[in-house]
Chains A and B, each alone.
Chain A
Amino acid sequence: DTGVSQDPRHKITKRGQNVTFRCDPISEHNRLYWYRQTLGQGPEFLTYFQNEAQLEKSRLLSDRFSAERPKGSFSTLEIQRTEQGDSAMYLCASSSGTGVRKLFFGSGTQLSVL
């Protein structure tokens, strides 16, 4: 169990730029989730994948956000035309989905939009 891996750990970008984050879940896990956390708040659900299928998207996920999991393994989250309000910790989590209802989280990507 190598854990959930996220890259990069930190990203500083200028407003209007595009950014992409990567998540590698625990290898046998078929469920993958993206969350966003801002200061003083708990993680907020963004989107969920079962294998390569994106099955749920939060209303928080504006049209500028897109997520993919092309082969049912790693996932990417892209934010286009970043805004200062996008500054947050982006967390990826995975689970096996077979009756296990706890999520394993990565260390997150801290995004700062200047």
Chain B
Amino acid sequence: DQQVKQNSPSLSVQEGRISILNCDYTNSMFDYFLWYKKYPAEGPTFLISISSIKDKNEDGRFTVFLNKSAKHLSLHIVPSQPGDSAVYFCAASAQDSYGKLTFGQGTILTVHP
């Protein structure tokens, strides 16, 4: 039972353009959502998060949008840079889950110079 899904295994974008990574979830109890970035042979690094009481959160080049009715969130990276090339994981947690995160399968982002 995949409660968090990232349906695009990979995304290729030109430097300077927008990268849009998508994530869907099924568990209505999830109320906090995060994006992590992962380089090979390293652990995931926190990027940005959003609470279910918001529909948008912005941090520099990164913006996360949440559509609760559609159970969908997306991460926008503008402008994309070659250093953004990595695997991006969407994760979700429920209020009473001790902070336990449920992850999607990840999307490999490649930003070409």
A interface residue numbers (CB < 8 A to B): 4, 6, 31, 33, 40-45, 48, 50, 55-56, 91, 93, 95, 97, 100-108, 110
Contact = CB atoms under 8 A, between A and B. Distances in A.
B60 interface: no
A105 B99 contact: no
Contacts of A41: 105-106
Contacts of A100: 99
B89 interface: yes
Query: A-B pairs with the 4 shortest C-beta distances?
Result: A42-B103, A105-B43, A107-B43, A105-B44
Interface string B8-50: 0100000000000000000000001010100001111110010
Given A101-B49, A102-B49, A45 B44 contact: no
Contact of A31 (B34, B43, B98): B98
Q: Size band of the B side of the interface?
A: 20 to 34
A45 B89 contact: no
A102 B109 CA distance: 22
Contacts of A45: 100-102
B103 A102 contact: no
A107 B42 contact: yes
Contacts of B32: 101
Contact of B41 (A31, A44, A110): A110
A101 B99 contact: yes
30 contacts: A6-B43, A33-B100, A33-B101, A40-B9, A40-B105, A40-B106, A42-B6, A42-B89, A42-B91, A42-B105, A42-B106, A45-B100, A48-B100, A50-B98, A56-B98, A93-B43, A100-B99, A101-B49, A102-B34, A103-B46, A103-B99, A103-B101, A104-B46, A105-B43, A105-B44, A105-B45, A107-B41, A107-B43, A108-B41, A108-B42
